[in-house]
Structure 1
């Protein structure tokens, strides 16, 4: 028997935690927190698990690792790049296991195929071949020119990032809008280990010269030296060349600055937030949780929100589902109210169930949208 239990991550922008029981093992896919501070999965009914597998290091996928004691302190599997980003106090070295960026391996003896997810450095999807295939995408994107997305194998069941629901706008159009809005100076707030280096590269291609905070510069330097497959062909060289052209002088309100963290809640962007009276303007491009400085600035009309896609659009999600041939689709990290078109297009396959039996006699059943 194979079973999927949605611990957290379905019904809204919630922390990721999906339990699969397969080949006699219990594996928890991601263990996140947030994106709102303090929002954690309820593990009270999960029991002991054999392993945790991380798709990437962002807080809503890995921030709950401090809860491992509640599920038996299992080993944690992640790519070497993800381990570079996970705080050392969250998982002790003896419990860390390293996954490849691509290819076939095992997790506690369970066969799994892995590929790059296009969302973040070291980010991966995981495919378990038993019973027609179960695919967990984690967060993914088909639009990044920096982080590759590897086509996954056929999968009877898919747990897919659907964070944007019915959003249709392309990243190319969004970048042009952001570039225009940033002229004259703006602080572009970004999450760590994410879109920052790509934002710098793509704005530079439009003739702009952004300045990078110390964190984003360090990320760009790291990616520019990569030979392991973290970035697409040619990107390391492009980043290396770009870094040689960007000024490291202190930023002024007239500069375009790319700074972590995403909502001016910490890091260099928070420092700029304290200096907003000097004339620094802010642009936010991702999810904005209530109670953050970003939320307050936007509500007061003192900042703009313009999207930068790092998750799949409506058509991206539909194309992936068709490409892998899924009969059961679990739409993760999205509220039902944000995806009426997607729900309609997936009618008969979309499941909101808490538990899904993945054995062949069950997989043919249709899970209707409520």
Structure 2
């Protein structure tokens, strides 16, 4: 059975992920993101004749248009963890963290991506095999990663292009910057991504004066429940359990703050930045370190000396995709 893949959004830019897999008389949408820039939306026309939607993980540039999917009455295939981030009314058919299911006679295989809590790659046993990686990372010592099977057609996350700097190099740079900055430091982060992983890094390096907001702690609670080991390394879970009480209570006066949202355009991160700016602290006694995608507002803050950028690798390097 032959298959055709059409990339609707996200090619050649850091845009919302949305692809369409077509075969026989079926059309499946793979991810339904919006953003991360404010003007990057989802086109409802992409749902024309679509039979089902598969969502790899719960970051906004992959799940942000889920309300459109629900309004169209389409079934959504995703993991139980990702389903928790869907709006009410979703018709969810669960995907396993690692394993396979049959969908319309097609074997769909999943595995963990090393990128986020609840995230999976998708392999479709059609046309010699079609692999859609979603976002993935092979460097995390927190999130688990499974190597996917071979496929004739492979669509890989290449958010970093030909970047080759390893996570160890990135972490050294981050820690060096932190030691040079006086006062408080805010890290805008995705709760289901690197928030807990960074907290454990702080602890390992004796940087114990940290706190995380309620959204980030909510993810910690999920990791520490019975399903956490489906996606997170066992040793990391044990270390996370040891700092649960600290993570539970947000302290805005802590030196290191882990707060939603990663782009700092909303959420507790935005609230703190606005407050520090109004108080005249931003860039002096209060700093921001962005570690992921840099939207326009973040780039302007760096240009003005009000923030810094130190990447935390959550996507593949060049050597992982070539």
TM-score (structure 1 length as normaliser): 0.78
Instruction: Tell me the equivalent position of 1:59.
Output: 60
**What does residue range 114-129 of structure 1 map to in structure 2 within 5 Å?**
114-129=110-125
2:153 counterpart residue number: 157
- Picking from 127, 132, 145, the partner of 2:128 is 132
Contact 1:272/1:280 (<8 A) preserved? no
Partner Cα distance (1:86, 1:170) in 2: 33
Say whether 1:19 aligns with 2:20: yes
Query: Closer, same or farther in 2 for the Cα pair 1:274/1:107, shift >3 Å?
Result: same
Map 1:304-319 to 2 at 5 A.
304-318=308-322
1:62-95 Cα shifts (integer Å, max 9, x gaps): 112233379x53211110000112233xxx14x2
In 2: Cα distance, 1:314 partner to 1:49 partner: 33
RMSD, aligned α-carbons: 2.0
Q: CA–CA distance in 2 between the matches of 1:249 and 1:136?
A: 37
Q: For structure 2, which runs of at least 5 residues remain unmatched after alignment?
A: none
* Structure 1 residue 247, shift from structure 2 partner: 8.8
Q: How many residues align?
A: 310
SS state at 1:215 partner = helix
**Conserved 8 A contact 2:187-2:258:** yes
Output the CA distance in 1 between the equivalents of 2:249 and 2:70.
44
Instruction: Give CA-to-partner distance per residue, 1:275-296, whole Å, 9 cap, x none.
Output: 2134321110111112x3x233
SS in 1 for 2:263: coil
Normalised by the size of structure 2, how large is the TM-score?
A: 0.90
Contact map agreement 2:188 2:261 (CA 8 A) in 1 = yes
How far apart, CA to CA, are the structure 2 residues paired with 1:127 and 1:98? 15
**Separation (CA, whole Å) in 1 of partners of 2:232 and 2:174:** 23
Partner SS for 1:148: coil
The one of 306, 310, 316 equivalent to 1:302 is 306
CA spacing shift, 1:214–1:68, aligned 2, 3 Å: closer
Question: Which has the higher relative contact order, 1 or 2, with Cα contacts under 8 A spaced 6 or more apart?
Answer: 1
Alignment of 1:197-208 (within 5 A): 197-208=196-207
The CA deviation string for residues 1-31 of structure 1, in whole angstroms up to 9 with x for no partner, is: 3111111121211111111113542111011
